[in-house]
């Protein structure tokens, strides 16, 4: 299987994050190394690209792709939730720029054995980190009715969540659900034909929800961004690319929190919180051009938010 992934908002991200060609840049979601390579090409031999990914398959491909860069390269197999300890354990205490390109890569989606895809049959897996204990099969077969409804509603923003879970519970009472194909046909049965006529694939939202739960994708974002900002040098940049409203909301809120000076209630005559703004961030996100969306439809929902360390 070839590692195919078209990087989203490539030049916008590199231009936003790069400040010093001799600097240290950390790509927290290395994937196929598209962003890291484009950034690394603009660094000097003194500069450095550090790439993190929790998927060993991605890291193996990325190492190869980064081998011809003019700068230093370090790859670390880890979840970016551990970025602070991971960088510090390699003696890195100050960083010029961070990139987070959230979610899964096209390679992960297009590899049926990884179980992310509702288009191809495969095991119900969905783990980015193949050593992690929680799989989609466990979520689908062992979570309570209430938890499944909450996950599919909250993480999938799926209006048919209850009906889908009714059908899942019915099916799993007879036999354990073990493939993506089985789950897709259960979802198709649950969503009324009329509602399935237009819009995205009927399983898209449920698969997104289960993937977020399996990889704990949202829970780690706030603290990871705070840790990254703490390591940034003054004028260093953090660039975050999101693909759905849940990720974007957390990114926007975290940037707002980090760029707000005083958080005291407005009726207090003097500031008692002593909070300080640590970044400057624009309220408006950078979005792909019509042309990029035409060439790469996956970029349609992408948003890039950039924070500048004060």
Cβ partners under 8 Å of residue 29, min gap 6: 52, 53, 80, 99, 100, 101, 102
Q: Is 80 in the site for ligand SAM (CB under 6 A)?
A: yes
Q: Does 49 bind ligand SAM (CB under 6 A)?
A: no
Residues facing residue 26 across a β-bridge: 50, 98
Choosing from 54, 75, 180, 259, the residue that interacts with ligand SAM (CB under 6 A) is 54
Element (H, E) at 52: strand 48-53
Number of residues written out for the chain: 310
| Comparison of 178 and 218: residue with beta carbon closer to ligand SAM | 218
Region 213-242 residues binding ligand SAM, contact defined as CB under 6 A: 220
What is d(CA 75, CA 91) in angstroms, rounded to the nearest whole number? 14
Q: How far apart are CA 302 and CA 215, in angstroms?
A: 20
Question: Which is closer to ligand SAM, CB of 41 or CB of 170?
Answer: 41
HSE-up (13 A, CA, CB side) for residue 28: 27
Q: Which is nearer to ligand SAM, 56 or 170 (CB)?
A: 56
Q: How far is CA 229 from CA 14, 19, 32, 44, 268, in A?
A: 17, 15, 24, 24, 29
Find the shortest distance in angstroms from Cβ 160 to ligand SAM. 27
Task: Quote the tokens at residue 140.
Answer: 């689908």
> How many chain residues touch ligand SAM (CB under 6 A)?
22
Interface with ligand SAM in residues 122-141 (CB under 6 A):
128
Beta bridge partners of residue 123, listed in sequence order = 179
Q: Which stretch binds ligand SAM (CB under 6 A): 33-41, 156-164, 249-257, 295-303?
A: 33-41
Using the contact rule CB under 6 A, the part of the chain among 41-49, 100-108, 150-158, 257-265 near ligand SAM is 100-108
> In terms of CB distance, is 6 or 178 closer to ligand SAM?
6
Consecutive H or E run containing 306:
strand 303-309
3-state DSSP assignment of residue 58: helix
Which CB sits closer to ligand SAM, 29 or 254?
A: 29
Q: Is 31 in the site for ligand SAM (CB under 6 A)?
A: yes
Q: Which of 16, 29, 117, 242 binds ligand SAM (CB under 6 A)?
A: 29
CA gap 114, 219 in Å, rounded: 22
Task: Tell whether residue 34 is a contact of ligand SAM (CB under 6 A).
Answer: yes
Nearer residue to ligand SAM within complex by CB, 103 or 307: 103
Q: Does 156 bind ligand SAM (CB under 6 A)?
A: no
Q: Does residue 175 sit in helix, strand or coil?
A: coil
CA within 13 Å, CB half, 250: 19
Is residue 305 within the footprint of ligand SAM (CB under 6 A)?
no
Q: How far apart are CA 146 and CA 81, in angstroms?
A: 28
- Contact between 32 and ligand SAM by CB under 6 A: the answer reads yes
CB of 220 to ligand SAM, least distance (A): 6
| Binding segment (CB under 6 A) for ligand SAM, from list 77-85, 138-146, 196-204, 298-306 | 77-85
How far apart CA 286 and CA 119 sit, in angstroms, is: 30
Verify binding: residue 105, ligand SAM, rule CB under 6 A.
yes
Does residue 163 contact residue 188 with C-beta atoms inside 8 Å?
no
Provide the binding-site residues for ligand SAM, judged by CB under 6 A.
Answer: 5, 7, 29, 31-35, 52-55, 58, 79-81, 101, 103-105, 128, 220
């Amino acid at each position: 299987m070839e590692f195919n992934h078209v990087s989203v908002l490539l030049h916008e991200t590199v231009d936003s994050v790069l400040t010093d060609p001799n600097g240290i840049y950390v790509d927290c979601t290395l994937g196929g190394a598209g962003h890291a390579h484009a950034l690394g090409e603009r660094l000097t031999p003194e500069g450095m690209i550090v790439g993190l990914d929790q998927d060993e398959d991605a890291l193996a491909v990325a190492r190869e792709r980064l081998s011809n860069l003019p700068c230093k390269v370090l790859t670390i197999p880890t979840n970016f939730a551990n970025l602070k300890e991971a960088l510090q354990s390699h003696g890195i205490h100050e960083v010029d720029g961070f990139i987070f390109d959230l979610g899964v890569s096209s390679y992960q989606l297009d590899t049926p054995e990884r179980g992310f895809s509702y288009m191809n049959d495969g095991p119900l897996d969905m783990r980015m980190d193949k050593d992690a204990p929680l799989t989609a099969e466990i979520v689908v077969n062992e979570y309570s009715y209430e938890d499944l409804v909450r996950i599919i509603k909250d993480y999938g923003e799926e209006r048919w969540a209850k009906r889908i879970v009714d059908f899942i519970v019915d099916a799993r009472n007879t036999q354990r659900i073990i493939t993506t194909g089985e789950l897709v046909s259960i979802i198709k049965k649950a969503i009324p034909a009329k509602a399935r006529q237009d819009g995205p694939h009927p399983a898209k939202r449920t698969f997104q929800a289960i993937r977020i739960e399996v990889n704990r994708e949202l829970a780690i974002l706030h603290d990871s961004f705070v840790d990254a900002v703490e390591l940034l040098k003054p004028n260093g940049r953090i660039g975050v690319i999101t693909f759905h409203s849940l990720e974007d909301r957390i990114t926007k809120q975290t940037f707002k929190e980090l760029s707000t000076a005083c958080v005291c209630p407005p009726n207090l005559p003097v500031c008692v919180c002593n909070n300080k703004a640590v970044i400057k961030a624009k309220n408006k996100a950078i979005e792909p051009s019509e042309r990029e969306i035409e060439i790469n439809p996956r970029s349609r929902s992408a948003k890039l938010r950039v924070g500048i360390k004060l």
